[in-house]
Structure 1
């Protein structure tokens, strides 16, 4: 049996919408035309693909199998079209995105997943950079977008769009010393064994510079190289850890407390380059994905 791509796409939409009407609207087809295509699919398959009801339709086991494989076929077709089309269009320079470690931990990967799925013909080069370096590269036309600490980038002369709260918080093992607390001062946190990042990391330098010469004596029982390891060890009870709020997954099982100290309050902004080096449309689309992901994370955090 030969399958028509329009029929497969229509069937996938019908299953997703739970109705033939909804699928037809997604495909900009009339209801009679969509119904005829479904009947033709079932006729050639020799088996019912949908169970009709007063409240819509649902797939039969055969329909579920068809929808699953149809999605795979349509995905591969999109990739095929993109691969062939790349030879007929002018090459577009990749969008260069720079961000600090907290944004690169979760926000940037989430944004890139949705962006690249929707724009398989575009490329992105993402790299981790501290805010001062990111601002310099954006000002010099060496990058398109940057996710920067607003407190460090304010007054840089580039366009800044507020993005998301990235204040520092303290995390520890569930049921541990932070249990029942909603906020705590760094002076008290420093009385417990801590897990820290390498001395050269942007986060560690931010903490040390913010504390200044009056910083309390801290005992770092463990020092690691990345936020993933830091969060995992804190959740396992190795010690407490000071991390950006953006690095915390609301679904993870550990205690979390806000830091009371004023220096711990930070915000991230989206910073635009001074010149257009990649496609303006691609850059704008990526910026919108980043902003959308930031809003989603903030909504999930607030519950």
Structure 2
């Protein structure tokens, strides 16, 4: 049986996004074309690969097995293509860096300031993505470097290195409801008005995905686009917020306490993509700047 690499990439994007429409958009395909490709993939496999529902799709057991093996196939294919394409792709093409909300707030901008000043002939495109999307794009050779939650990178086959703690904490106006508190559960946090990121932000989606069906319904007074805005609103007393500790300045304008949940303990990793250019001196230099920014708090 032959598997087309485009079909495998489409299937992985569809599973990651939970939607054929979103998978088609990631592949720059029309929805009819993407649906036809997935039906053909199921026909050749001889078993259903996706369970289709009103809220999207999820893989069947056979689809989950295909997902695991397709990642390995595409990783090796990307390395094969990169080994040849690396000789043709100009070193001056922009490096592509992906990271989640936390790293894009301070870590990546700090690294870019020092890197771009030292390398005036190099360009960088930095984009915010969920960790799962970043890992997949690195595996597919669509990015050079990524900063991800370390549990998302396990089993991906990518070269990774730890960058440090990225645990979540609760913040609020200094002298407010957090005064004297050292830790709170999310259930306790949700008893107060909150401020947070917009629903499509990687950090907000991560928090929501960990709450579970029996979590209390929180009242968000506002959802904004950046962590900086969330922190400013919390400092002004608009509401409490759940943010990564590394996103905060040590200026005493906020009260901070630990978020007492198992999922609040997180660590970041730096991942290198499978494309050949990832091993270039320029990509290595950018990785060094990210590493230094991560350890300079």
TM-score by length of 1: 0.66
Q: Which residue of 1 aligns with 2:256?
A: 256
Q: Which runs of 5+ in 1 are unaligned?
A: 1-89, 298-303
Cα pair 1:143 1:277 within 8 Å, conserved? no
Partner of 2:136: helix, strand, or coil? helix
Q: Which residue of 1 aligns with 2:41?
A: none
Partner of 1:179: helix, strand, or coil? coil
CA distance in 1, matches of 2:252, 2:268: 22
Cα pair 2:174 2:252 within 8 Å, conserved? no
1:1-303 to 2 correspondences below 5 Å:
92-251=92-251, 253-277=253-277, 280-297=280-297
Partner of 1:214: helix, strand, or coil? coil
Q: 1:271 to 1:236 in 2, by over 3 A?
A: same
Cα pair 1:93 1:279 within 8 Å, conserved? no
Cα offsets for 1:223-245 (capped at 9, x unmatched): 22221211110000001001122
Q: Which runs of 5+ in 2 are unaligned?
A: 1-89
CA distance in 2, matches of 1:153, 1:243: 22
Alpha-carbon offset, residue 184 of structure 1: 1.6
Partner of 1:213: helix, strand, or coil? coil
Q: 1:227 to 1:252 in 2, by over 3 A?
A: farther
Partner of 2:295: helix, strand, or coil? helix
Alpha-carbon offset, residue 251 of structure 1: 2.6
Partner of 2:283: helix, strand, or coil? helix
Alpha-carbon offset, residue 91 of structure 1: 5.5
Cα pair 1:103 1:147 within 8 Å, conserved? yes
The worse-fitting range, judged by mean Cα deviation, of 222-231 and 235-244 is 222-231
Cα pair 1:192 1:240 within 8 Å, conserved? yes
CA distance in 1, matches of 2:200, 2:120: 36
Cα pair 2:277 2:283 within 8 Å, conserved? no
TM-score by length of 2: 0.67
CA distance in 1, matches of 2:223, 2:278: 39
CA distance in 2, matches of 1:252, 1:262: 27
Alpha-carbon offset, residue 278 of structure 1: 5.8
Cα pair 1:95 1:125 within 8 Å, conserved? yes
CA distance in 1, matches of 2:278, 2:194: 43
Structure of higher CA gyration radius: 1
